Amino acid sequence: MKFPCLVVDHDDTVVNSTATVHFPCFCEFMAIHYPQIHYTLEDYFLKNFSPGTLELFRDEIGMDEAMLQEEHRFWDAYVQSHVPQAYEGMREILWEQKNAGGLLCVVSHSLSKNILRDYRENGLPEPDMIFGWEIPVEQRKPSAYPLQKIMETFHLQTEDLLVLDDLKPGYDMAKACGVRFAAAGWANDIPQIEQFMRSNCDLYFKTVAELKAYLTEK
């Protein structure tokens, strides 16, 4: 066990969800409410990367609070009947962490109930802590709060944690807390995202196999 605690993102890190669930849901919602506005999957990945989905909805598309709530209801209903699949090899990595006595925590912009459903449906070990979308906005990543709370709860130091995430908010969270960050690069092949992650992150893994090799090397 290389790190006493793995802190993993959910979407596009553990499960393949943007391309198979969230983007199709977004397209359906936009077709109903904003038919004049169109985004490609690459556009959507880039907006998720920076500045984030909330900023996309509110500042670029122009959703007011009522429409943001409507979008959330639409998305929540959609994901109840669409379960994303875990990336090949991720199940083994997470179970090896738990079986070795390590901690597994999730910091995500998905709801905790959906994360637990996805873990259960994909045969993944139950996380020790989850920080999902339902927590107060000021506590969501990129806030350092989730990492601070994990360290406080389990009496850990910064060097005991590894954050694994595919997007900039996770990187910003780890950087704000002085925790080592590994970029998950297997969800897309967008040069702007890969270039930033390779240039700025402590670690970059293009495949799940590369991550596994790193975690198991002596």
What one-character-per-residue DSSP string does the chain give? ---SEEEE--BTTTEE-IIIIIHHHHHHHHHHH-TT----HHHHHHHHHTT-HHHIIIIII---HHHHHHHHHHHHHHHHT-PPEEPTTHHHHHHHHHHTT-EEEEE-SS-HHHHHHHHHHTTPPPPSEEE-TTS-GGGSTTSSHHHHHHHHHHT--GGGEEEEESSHHHHHHHHHHT-EEEEE--S---HHHHHHHHHHSSEEESSHHHHHHHHH--
pLDDT in tens, 133-170: 999 999 999 999 999 999 999 999 999 999 999 988 99
Domain locations along the chain: 5-16+85-216, 18-80
pLDDT in tens, 167-214: 889 999 999 999 999 999 999 999 999 999 999 999 999 999 999 999
pLDDT for 50 beyond 90: no
Query: What local confidence, expressed as pLDDT, does residue 48 receive?
Result: 87
- The 10s digit of each residue's pLDDT in 4-15 is 999 999 999 999
On the question of pLDDT at 16 being above 90, the answer is: yes
pLDDT-derived band of residue 27, with 50, 70 and 90 as boundaries? very high
Closest CA to 10 of 166, 188, 177, 162: 166
Q: Give me the pLDDT at residue 206, please.
A: 97
pLDDT at 156: 98
This prediction's pTM: 0.91
Q: Chain-wide mean pLDDT for the chain?
A: 96
| CA dihedral angle for residue 56, residue 7, residue 123, residue 84, rounded to 10 degrees | 10
Topology adopted by domain 5-16+85-216: Rossmann fold (3.40.50)
How do 180-184 and 15-16 pair as beta strands? unpaired
- Note the pLDDT of residue 116: 97
How many of the other CB atoms lie within 10 Å of CB of 77? Answer: 10
